[in-house]
Amino acid sequence: MTTENQAPDAGDPLPSRQQQYVLRTIEERGVRLVRLWFTNVLGQHKSVAISPAEMENIFAEGLQFDGSSIDGFSRVQESDVLARPDASSFELLPWARDDEPSALMFCNIENLDGSPFAGDPRQVLRRNLSAAHERGFEFFCAPEVEFFYFDESVRNGGKPVPLDQASYFDLTTEDVSSNLRKTTLHMLEALSIPVEYTFHEDGPSQHEIDLQYTDALNCADNIMTLRLVVKKVAMEQGIHATFMPKPLDGVQGSGMHTHMSLFEHGVNAFADAGDPHGLSKTGKSFIAGLLVHGREITAITNQLINSYRRINDGFEAPQYLTWARNNRSALVRVPIHKTGKESATRVEYRAIDPSCNPYLAFSVLLAAGMRGVTEGYDLQAEAEGNLFTLTDDQRKKMGIQSLPKSMAEALDEMEQSELVRDAVGDHIFEWFLRNRRAEWNEFHRQVTPFELERYLPSW
Amino acid sequence: MEPLLVFPNPAPPELAQTLDLSGWAWKAVGTEADVHDQEPEQGWGGAIVVADTDPSGAFAVCRALRKVEIPLEPLLLLISGSQLTELDHRNDLFDDFMLTPFHPREFEARLQHVFYKAGRVTRTEVVEYGPLKLNLETYQAMVDDKPLDLTYMEYELLKFLSSHPGKVFTRETLLSRVWGYDYYGGARTVDVHIRRLRSKLGEEHANLIQTVRSVGYSFGQSRWSG
């Protein structure tokens, strides 16, 4: 949530009401440590611990630090930035010890002159949401986050062993899973993140947490918190949780299907009860925007080399730029809702995976959809039947494009995209391409176990 | 404490929001006659009269409150800078005045001060309803004597709802009264926060907040509905 810029006038040195609330709660609850959270460009969690005594001052002036120490932030010569804690995100940490209460706040990063810092993904999303807001739209998301639990030996380079194959002496794997589930749920609820938790039937090792609808900024914050909580709870039981998109051969990968909707003055802008699909013109153009620009935004929504193993795995991940109401091979699905539940009309984007930076991913998804709305894109026909069974030629004749097959292809697409450049800003656009290309090149130079196994004996 | 009288009706939105955010109970009146017709059994808690749009109506209300056997105190008058001459020979009609547009923090400080000068206890610092207790001074909320860990907006929403038990509010009203400004989430944000608040109140007490179908939300039951 970002509501802290509501101080009565700019430059007001007194703490705002929200800040007073935070300061008073710190005092009343005896908080010993405040953790200030933000993310680097790749969406990795960064945290600075602050003594409560410094809090009032940090509210007034921000916390100055060297941005060049954070990946994708600033170059050395212009390195100092300010972290401004968002008082509306203040929460007591449910896992802190009773005798040492701790709290968290998300931060916005600013330049020393107070302008938004271009390398801060949270500021990027705020800018995109403000632009939509100015046109009367509020962007809401609800992600389904998948992940795996493995034996903790993977952290030391061991092979990933799913929990149901690992040996646990006293507990059955179901006990372990149910313990993890209970603790994780409890912590997320305590952090104002209402969830529905499911776990996959094809083995206790892959789990899914569905978050309930909230505005996109809050939702991205929640995903950051969720990833941290899931890993932390698992680690305490000697288990490694991973959001890596495709950790195992022959088993479906982890996605983060994201349900999206736009509200215009509190009314669902995608809904039209009179339409055979229940979709408004805005809804259709938004989907068309996602399909037209889907290839350009994939590097952001699927940012690891490993992400492309999932997209091409033949399981539930989509491969083609199509939409459907009830076809799980499509990139965009429009879930069917009950009559009279128009406010539940939404579109589900199925390519995105949980390794992404949610601030940037939601920024480009919104930008792609909004471009469709602005330009009034027409929506292609709904995809029927299983697209996986068609030949390339048949798909070509039908005008169906594929998602990028590798990170290199996705980066080439992104590099040509004015839409992505505008959405994430020059600073992040350029850094991201440089950083991801460097990783790709490093990967590409490797001689893989596959090659050794196949070629060494017989060539 | 009994509600403050606020003139005119409807109250200017920024005034309504400032009063709500600081937890004052208040009631808007539109005419001199309403001053008596709508007076609470125990009398008005105090008065805030805004004179910048309808000065003659405003001073009529002031007279109705002050030119009586037991004049109401305190009375804070809000006027625009161009109306200052209207104050001549009317010092008996108000305890203090402020210029519009007002600064919310100054407004609150001045309101507290006129109450202090009038020798009046300002307001309840605790909102209690069944197992729920909110301390408005320290911003702490308790259920069954256990502290609730709330975000600021959750706290404000709970405070607003629990200060008006039994009353049904639309999402739009809650948004304008509790958030009071443009917000990324719009009216849907209210649903999100209600859901969270229920989850923090816990299963046992989640039903303190009721969903009123196709209208909005309400909290507990009105004291008067039995």
Residues constituting chain A: 459
> Is A418 exposed, middle or buried, given 0-12, 13-18 or 19+ CB atoms closer than 10 A?
exposed
Of B152, B181, B188, the CB nearest to A21: B152
Domain positions in chain A are: 4-110, 129-430
Asked if B35 and B77 sit in the same domain, the reply is yes
Asked if B70 and B18 sit in the same domain, the reply is yes
Q: How far is A151 from chain B (nearest CA, A)?
A: 32
Residue B75, domain CATH: 3.40.50.2300
Which of B17, B184, B200 has the highest number of chain A CBs within 10 A, making it the mutation to test binding with A? B184
Q: How far is A244 from chain B (nearest CA, A)?
A: 29
- B30 assigned to some structural domain: yes
Q: How far is A94 from chain B (nearest CA, A)?
A: 9
Report the C-alpha gap between B99 and A396 in whole angstroms: 71
Task: Single out the residue in B69, B87, B117 at which a domain terminates.
Answer: B117
- B226 assigned to some structural domain: no
A265 — contact with chain B (CB < 8 Å)? yes
Report which of A416, A214, A380 is spatially closest to residue A299, judged by C-alpha positions: A416
The ipTM (two decimal places) reads: 0.80
| Assigned fold of A129-430 | Creatine Kinase; Chain A, domain 2 (3.30.590)
Which pLDDT score is estimated for A203? Answer: 61
Task: Single out the residue in B98, B117, B136 at which a domain terminates.
Answer: B117
Asked if B91 and B146 sit in the same domain, the reply is no
- B225 assigned to some structural domain: no
**B139 to A90: CB separation less than 8 angstroms, yes or no:** no
Residue B192, domain CATH: 1.10.10.10
Which pLDDT score is estimated for A159? Answer: 80
Report the C-alpha gap between A178 and A294 in whole angstroms: 37
Kindly report the backbone phi and psi dihedral angles of residue A458, in degrees, each rounded to the nearest multiple of 5, phi listed first: -115, 0
Asked if B14 and B106 sit in the same domain, the reply is yes
| CA B102 remoteness from chain centre | 16
Asked if B186 and B155 sit in the same domain, the reply is yes
Task: Single out the residue in B117, B149, B178 at which a domain terminates.
Answer: B117
3-state class (DSSP) for residue A331: strand
Of B103, B172, B184, the CB nearest to A8: B103
Q: How far is A268 from chain B (nearest CA, A)?
A: 10
Domains identified in chain B, total number: 2
**A212 to B192: CB separation less than 8 angstroms, yes or no:** yes
Q: How far is A192 from chain B (nearest CA, A)?
A: 6
Report which of A356, A159, A155, A324 is spatially closest to residue A255, judged by C-alpha positions: A356
Q: Are A146 and A206 in contact (CB under 8 A)?
A: yes
Question: Which residues does residue A145 pair with via DSSP β-bridges, in sequence order?
Answer: A209
Report the C-alpha gap between A268 and A346 in whole angstroms: 9
- B208 assigned to some structural domain: yes
Asked if B21 and B109 sit in the same domain, the reply is yes
**A21 to B21: CB separation less than 8 angstroms, yes or no:** no
Report the C-alpha gap between B49 and B144 in whole angstroms: 40
Report the C-alpha gap between B92 and A391 in whole angstroms: 91
Report the C-alpha gap between B28 and B176 in whole angstroms: 17
Q: How far is A27 from chain B (nearest CA, A)?
A: 9
Report the C-alpha gap between A24 and B138 in whole angstroms: 6
* CA-based torsion, A283, A286, A292, A295: positive or negative: negative
Set of chain B residues whose Cβ sits within 8 Å of the Cβ of A214: 185, 192
Secondary element (H or E) of residue A208: strand A206-211
Report which of A249, A240, A225, A242 is spatially closest to residue A95, judged by C-alpha positions: A225
SS (H, E, C) B190-225: HHHHHHHHHHHHCCCCHHHEEEECCCEEEECCCCCC
Which pLDDT score is estimated for A165? Answer: 63
Set of chain B residues whose Cβ sits within 8 Å of the Cβ of A265: 186-187
| CA A147 vs CA A142, A317, B73: distances in Å | 16, 14, 64
Set of chain A residues whose Cβ sits within 8 Å of the Cβ of B189: 138, 215
Set of chain B residues whose Cβ sits within 8 Å of the Cβ of A25: 139-140
Report which of A42, A31, A94 is spatially closest to residue A436, judged by C-alpha positions: A42
**B149 to A212: CB separation less than 8 angstroms, yes or no:** no
Of B21, B138, B186, the CB nearest to A138: B186
> Is B53 exposed, middle or buried, given 0-12, 13-18 or 19+ CB atoms closer than 10 A?
exposed
Residue of A nearest to B184 (CA): A138
3-state class (DSSP) for residue B147: strand
Asked if B100 and B138 sit in the same domain, the reply is no
A192 — contact with chain B (CB < 8 Å)? yes
Asked if B70 and B8 sit in the same domain, the reply is yes
- B51 assigned to some structural domain: yes
| Per-residue model confidence as pLDDT tens for chain B (226 residues) | 788 999 999 999 999 988 888 778 899 999 999 998 988 888 898 999 999 999 999 999 999 999 888 889 899 999 999 999 989 889 899 999 999 999 988 998 899 888 888 877 555 578 888 899 999 888 899 999 999 999 999 999 999 999 888 889 998 888 888 887 556 667 788 888 999 999 889 888 988 999 998 889 999 875 444 3
Q: What is the mean pLDDT of each run of 10 residues along chain A (459 residues)?
A: 41 72 93 95 94 94 87 71 94 87 95 93 96 93 93 79 60 72 90 82 79 93 96 91 91 93 90 89 97 97 96 80 84 82 87 97 98 95 75 78 94 98 96 96 94 93
- B53 assigned to some structural domain: yes
Report the C-alpha gap between A51 and A286 in whole angstroms: 46
Q: Are B155 and A18 in contact (CB under 8 A)?
A: no
Beginning with the edge strand found earlier in the chain, give each strand of the sheet holding B132-135 in spatial order: B126-129, B132-135, B140-143, B146-148
- Taking CA B140 as the corner, what is the angle to CA B113 and CA B164, rounded to the nearest 5 degrees? 70
- B18 assigned to some structural domain: yes
**A22 to B155: CB separation less than 8 angstroms, yes or no:** no
| Assigned fold of A4-110 | Ubiquitin-like (UB roll) (3.10.20)
A105 — contact with chain B (CB < 8 Å)? no
| CA B57 vs CA A41, A53, B44, B117: distances in Å | 59, 51, 18, 26
Report the C-alpha gap between A399 and A387 in whole angstroms: 12
Asked if B146 and B109 sit in the same domain, the reply is no
Which pLDDT score is estimated for A76? Answer: 55
- CB contact burial B131-149 (16+ within 10 A = b; e otherwise): ebbbebeebbbebeeeebb
Give the A:B interface size as CB pairs under 8 Å.
93
Kindly report the backbone phi and psi dihedral angles of residue A102, in degrees, each rounded to the nearest multiple of 5, phi listed first: -130, 160
**B196 to A194: CB separation less than 8 angstroms, yes or no:** yes
Asked if B199 and B133 sit in the same domain, the reply is yes
Kindly report the backbone phi and psi dihedral angles of residue B192, in degrees, each rounded to the nearest multiple of 5, phi listed first: -60, -45
SS3 content of chain A, % helix, strand, coil (to 5): 40, 20, 40
Set of chain A residues whose Cβ sits within 8 Å of the Cβ of B153: 1, 3, 88
SS (H, E, C) B66-116: HCCCCCCCCEEEEEEHHHHHHHCCCHHHCCEEEEECCCHHHHHHHHHHHHH
3-state class (DSSP) for residue A227: helix
Asked if B44 and B68 sit in the same domain, the reply is yes
- Within chain B, how many helices (H) and strands (E) appear? 7, 12
Tokens 């400004």 belong to residue: B181
Set of chain B residues whose Cβ sits within 8 Å of the Cβ of A28: 138-140
Of A2, A18, A91, the CB nearest to B184: A2
Which of B192, B209, B211 has the highest number of chain A CBs within 10 A, making it the mutation to test binding with A? B192
- B196 assigned to some structural domain: yes
Which pLDDT score is estimated for A303? Answer: 98
Q: How many CB atoms lie within 10 A of CB A51?
A: 10
Secondary element (H or E) of residue A414: helix A407-415
Q: How far is B190 from chain A (nearest CA, A)?
A: 10
Asked if B143 and B97 sit in the same domain, the reply is no
Q: What is the domain extent for residue B184?
A: 126-219
A384 — contact with chain B (CB < 8 Å)? no
| CA B174 remoteness from chain centre | 13
Q: How far is B1 from chain A (nearest CA, A)?
A: 23
